[in-house]
């Protein structure tokens, strides 16, 4: 019983209960028929020895139990006019003794539990077997009802999570309406950050958190004037101060969220310009005081900025990028992350090649 109580996936649950029923009443086969209201049919996912079966709501002993709410106990199915022989014909089986019991939950019949062909010392099912089947049916109905409710809640939770992720993606793309260059950069950085997280040994969940949270790393740039954000050439000192404020703006927009994802996004937005040596901004954090997600995003952010052309600079050569990243190990970046980058250099850099992942995903223009 404990194993059944812990199972919430309907298919597995039906198999467990069918096996339980078969053992208790000593039947060759047990199956749980459930109502498909949309198709006006009864179906069973689990019928020992066969695949899914479907029958009309009124067919056979199962249909009789469903319609009348009464159990069935017969010794020879072929001598009973209610028997529907189509299942036997289809599956090359010969049915003799049969029991059926309606499964009720909260005053409604949701299906029928059926046992076929008694095995063991007795040839036929007894009244005692029928009582046992009734107990199993009551338990099964309540368990299935709970499982269906749990699945409905799980489905709604997945829908909410999917909607949440979609809103994060849209929010991260807000900057694209002001600069396609910035928008593509955001997506490339998120892809790279997830790769770093994987090689760092983080769990799949942590990798996904960093991926989605990194989409918001430059969210604060919505507060930067176009004259600064899109300026070609070097920024003046006052313009650079304005540009640096995007870290605080992004963190401020995200920091009061109660969701784990947006809390990670706030860490990244606020700290992805901090440096391992403490010389970064806005707070001068150093070493492991910088959140790991921000450390990862920082490497991905600078790597992408060097590899790709910007309105204010040309793309660096591959060798120049590699030397610059190595040179800043232990200063700008956490050494372990630079070790990952160099060890897996071809994997990271290949994303930018003419046939690479970023070109395939439309995050870089194709070379004409």
3-state class (DSSP) for residue 330: coil
For 20, the token pair is 């339980």
For residues 56 and 54, what is the distance between their CA atoms, to the nearest angstrom?
Answer: 7
In which residue are the tokens 């590899």 written? Answer: 307
With CA atoms as reference, report the closest residue to 147 among 120, 139, 337, 250: 139
Helix ranges restricted to H, the chain: 2-5, 10-25, 60-68, 86-91, 127-172, 180-200, 204-214, 226-229, 237-244, 246-254, 260-271, 292-307, 318-327, 335-343, 345-349, 357-360
Give strand pairing partners of 109. Answer: 104
| Residue 283, phi then psi, degrees to nearest 5 | -115, 0
Known catalytic membership, residue 221:
yes
Q: What 3 state SS string does 96-147 have? A: CCEEEEEEEECCEEEEEEEEEEECCCCCCCCHHHHHHHHHHHHHHHHHHHHH
How far apart CA 90 and CA 148 sit, in angstroms, is 30
Catalytic residue (choose from 67, 156, 221, 361): 221
Q: Residue 246: phi, psi to the nearest 5? A: -65, -25
Rounded to whole angstroms, the Cα distance separating 99 from 89 reads 19
Kindly list the catalytic residues: 221
């Amino acid at each position: 019983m404990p194993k059944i109580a812990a199972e919430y996936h309907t298919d597995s649950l039906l198999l467990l209960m069918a096996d339980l029923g078969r053992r208790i009443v000593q039947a060759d086969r047990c199956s749980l028929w459930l109502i498909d209201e949309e198709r006006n049919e009864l179906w069973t996912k689990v019928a020992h020895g066969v695949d899914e079966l479907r029958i009309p709501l009124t067919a056979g002993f199962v249909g009789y139990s469903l319609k009348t709410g009464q159990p069935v106990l017969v010794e020879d199915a072929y001598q009973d006019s209610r028997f529907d022989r189509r299942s036997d014909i289809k599956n090359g089986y010969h049915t003799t003794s049969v029991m059926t019991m309606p499964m009720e939950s909260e005053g409604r019949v949701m299906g029928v539990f059926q046992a076929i062909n008694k095995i063991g010392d007795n040839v036929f099912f007894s009244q005692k077997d029928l009582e046992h089947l009734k107990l199993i049916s009551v338990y099964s109905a309540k368990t299935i009802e709970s499982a269906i409710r749990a699945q409905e809640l799980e489905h709604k939770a997945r829908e909410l999570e999917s909607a949440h992720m979609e809103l994060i993606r849209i929010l991260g793309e807000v900057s694209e309406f002001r600069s396609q260059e910035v928008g593509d950069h955001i997506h490339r950085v998120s892809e790279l950050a997830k790769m770093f997280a994987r090689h760092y040994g983080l769990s799949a969940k942590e990798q996904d958190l960093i991926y989605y949270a990194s989409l918001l790393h430059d969210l604060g740039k919505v507060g930067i004037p176009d004259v600064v954000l899109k300026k070609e050439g070097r920024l003046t000192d006052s313009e650079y101060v304005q540009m640096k404020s995007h870290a605080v703006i992004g963190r401020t927009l995200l920091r009061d969220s109660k969701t784990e994802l947006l809390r990670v996004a706030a860490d990244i937005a606020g700290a992805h310009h901090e440096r391992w040596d403490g010389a970064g901004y806005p707070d001068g954090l150093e070493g492991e005081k910088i959140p790991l997600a921000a450390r990862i995003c920082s490497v991905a952010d600078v790597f992408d900025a060097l590899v790709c052309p910007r309105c204010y600079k040309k793309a660096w050569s591959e060798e120049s990028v590699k030397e610059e990243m190595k040179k800043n190990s232990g200063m700008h970046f956490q050494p372990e992350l630079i070790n990952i980058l160099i060890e897996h250099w071809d994997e990271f850099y290949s994303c930018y090649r003419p046939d690479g992942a970023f070109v395939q995903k439309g995050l870089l223009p194709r070379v004409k």
